[in-house]
């Protein structure tokens, strides 16, 4: 895996042509595997002999993972994403009620309002930047960051710092000292926010988690409280940020597809789903570990191996999405289970924030292209530089001309 990230699709196609499961070298010359084929990934994600708890990570247990390993937080953060069975259900249930389709739909007016004010900001940024503004910075980032911060009760003044730190945590090319420092500071900032909430509880998720920690009956430990906040902040904004950025980039580069939406032949929800499939915001997700030697698509994955879920590859698997899997097509059939993308996960760890991500991205795209129908990229698409991560998949910035 290239720690500096880059566009994953050419390498994915080469790997997929060889098979649905591939051995990979992780940072620090660590041996791992990736599951890339759609059917193999679906089977693997729901397999009863596959765990997420890092106790099953052989190299970690044997002390072979150095301090400051760039993927350490993914493996060891204490929260639902590294828990199995009853522990997983307990941790997930503490926040899941806030993310049901009904509760999320109640957020629509607030999301619309925030979107409208961010479009004003984008317009102002372009006016003072010679007609060009970075859509990622001024629109795609503050929308999901604003929403998840409001849900968690995080004040405005913390947001830039939290984004900077979470961005370092998801970067795969970060040095060991920087990785340790970013993790430590993220934990410290969230600890400070939690301590303030314990003093003055509010009507927010952080206060609800603190109440669970303070109840009798071990519903939530201190490390799990902070781990859950880390997870919610990172998962709640880095991903949707990539989705909105990737969707705008795709529509600008495929104006015929934008036209189909304008003519009512496809909806904004179709754009969201096709972007998730075609340019998955989460490219390779760390980690799962087979609890015994496991054969997937004819390849043995040894017990305790760290395995990446290859969402960006599965989204373009021609065996499932057809010979034109590389084509961005908002009218593509996607309703049956056999062809539904896996980019929000599958099985017990299916994305908790899926309804929220879909709502935010749908509102963002509709409002953006309604207000700026002539919006276009300000630089050629192939000159956009990519994120330095193989976990997240997007570009670093998206300079656009927001034209009415």
Phi/psi for 341 (5° steps) reads -65, 165
Compute CA 336 distance to the chain's CA centroid, rounded to the nearest angstrom: 23
Interface with ligand HEM, residue 311, by CB under 6 A: yes
DSSP lists the bridge partners of residue 392 as 282
Assess contact for 289 and 305: CB atoms under 8 A: yes
- Terminal-to-terminal C-alpha distance of the chain: 42
**Using CB under 6 A, which residues numbered 175 to 204 contact ligand HEM?**
none
Q: What is the DSSP pairing of strand 30-35 with strand 307-310?
A: parallel
Task: Please report how close the Cβ of residue 243 comes to ligand HEM at its closest, in angstroms.
Answer: 4
Task: Please report how close the Cβ of residue 89 comes to ligand HEM at its closest, in angstroms.
Answer: 9
Q: Is the CB of 278 or the CB of 311 nearer to ligand HEM?
A: 311
The only residue of 59, 231, 359, 364 in contact with ligand HEM, by rule CB under 6 A? 231
Q: Which stretch binds ligand HEM (CB under 6 A): 121-129, 207-215, 234-242, 318-326?
A: 234-242
Assess contact for 392 and 283: CB atoms under 8 A: yes
Q: Is the CB of 81 or the CB of 378 nearer to ligand HEM?
A: 81
62: alpha, beta or left? (left if phi > 0; alpha if psi -120 to 50): alpha
Sheet containing strand 133-134, strands side by side: 133-134, 399-401, 376-377
Q: Which stretch binds ligand HEM (CB under 6 A): 36-44, 70-78, 278-286, 290-298?
A: 278-286
Interface with ligand HEM, residue 57, by CB under 6 A: no
Q: Is the CB of 236 or the CB of 304 nearer to ligand HEM?
A: 236
Determine the Cα–Cα distance for residues 285 and 313; give it in Å rounded to an integer.
Answer: 12
Residue closest to ligand HEM, measured at CB = 353
Determine the Cα–Cα distance for residues 106 and 9; give it in Å rounded to an integer.
Answer: 37
Site mask for ligand HEM (CB under 6 A), range 98-127, x = bound: -x----------------------------
The only residue of 208, 357, 395, 400 in contact with ligand HEM, by rule CB under 6 A? 357
Q: Which stretch binds ligand HEM (CB under 6 A): 12-20, 106-114, 296-304, 339-347?
A: 339-347
Q: Which stretch binds ligand HEM (CB under 6 A): 296-304, 320-328, 337-345, 370-378?
A: 337-345
Q: Is the bond into 367 cis (omega within 30 degrees of 0)?
A: no
Q: Which helix (H) or strand (E) holds 50?
A: strand 50-51
The only residue of 9, 92, 213, 321 in contact with ligand HEM, by rule CB under 6 A? 92
Task: Please report how close the Cβ of residue 232 comes to ligand HEM at its closest, in angstroms.
Answer: 6
Assess contact for 104 and 384: CB atoms under 8 A: no
Interface with ligand HEM, residue 41, by CB under 6 A: no
**Residues near 4 by Cβ (< 8 Å), separated by ≥ 6?**
172, 173, 388
Binding residues (CB under 6 A) for ligand HEM: these are 80-81, 92, 99, 148, 231-232, 235-236, 239-240, 243, 281-282, 285, 309, 311, 343-345, 349, 351-353, 356-357
């Amino acid at each position: 895996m290239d720690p500096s990230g880059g566009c994953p699709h050419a390498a994915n196609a080469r790997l997929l042509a060889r098979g649905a499961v591939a051995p990979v070298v992780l940072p620090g010359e660590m041996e791992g595997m990736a599951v890339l084929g759609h059917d193999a990934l679906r089977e693997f994600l729901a397999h009863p002999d596959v765990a997420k708890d890092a106790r099953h990570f052989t190299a970690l247990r044997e002390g072979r993972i150095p301090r400051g390993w760039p993927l350490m937080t993914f493996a060891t953060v204490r929260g639902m994403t590294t828990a199995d069975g009853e522990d997983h259900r307990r941790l997930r249930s503490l926040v899941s009620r806030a993310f049901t389709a009904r509760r999320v739909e109640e957020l629509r007016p607030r999301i619309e309002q925030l979107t409208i004010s961010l479009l004003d900001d984008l317009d102002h940024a372009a006016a003072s930047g010679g007609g060009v503004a970075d859509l990622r910075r001024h629109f795609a980032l503050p929308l999901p960051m604003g929403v998840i911060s409001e849900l968690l009760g995080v004040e405005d003044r913390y947001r830039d710092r939290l984004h900077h730190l979470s961005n370092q945590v998801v970067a795969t090319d970060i040095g060991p000292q920087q990785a340790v420092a970013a993790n430590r500071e993220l934990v410290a900032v969230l600890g400070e926010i939690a301590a303030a909430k314990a003093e003055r509880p509010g009507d927010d998720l952080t206060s609800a988690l603190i109440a669970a920690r303070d109840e009798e009956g071990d519903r939530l430990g201190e490390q799990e409280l902070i781990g859950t906040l880390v997870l919610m902040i990172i998962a709640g904004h880095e991903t949707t940020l990539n989705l909105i950025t990737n969707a705008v980039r795709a529509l600008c580069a495929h104006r015929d597809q934008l036209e189909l939406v304008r003519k009512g032949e496809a909806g904004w929800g179709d754009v969201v789903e096709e972007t998730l499939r075609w340019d998955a915001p989460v490219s390779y997700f760390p980690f799962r570990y087979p609890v015994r030697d496991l054969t997937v698509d004819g390849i043995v994955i040894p017990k305790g191996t760290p395995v990446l879920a290859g969402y960006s590859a599965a989204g373009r698997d021609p065996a499932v999405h057809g010979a034109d899997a590389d084509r961005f097509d908002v009218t593509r059939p996607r309703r049956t289970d056999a062809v539904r993308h896996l980019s929000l996960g599958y099985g017990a760890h299916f994305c908790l924030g899926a309804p929220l991500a879909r709502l935010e991205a749908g509102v963002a795209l509709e409002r953006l292209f309604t207000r700026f129908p002539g919006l276009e990229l300000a630089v050629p698409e192939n000159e956009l530089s990519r994120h330095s991560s193989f976990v997240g998949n997007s570009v670093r910035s998206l300079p656009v001309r927001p034209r009415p």
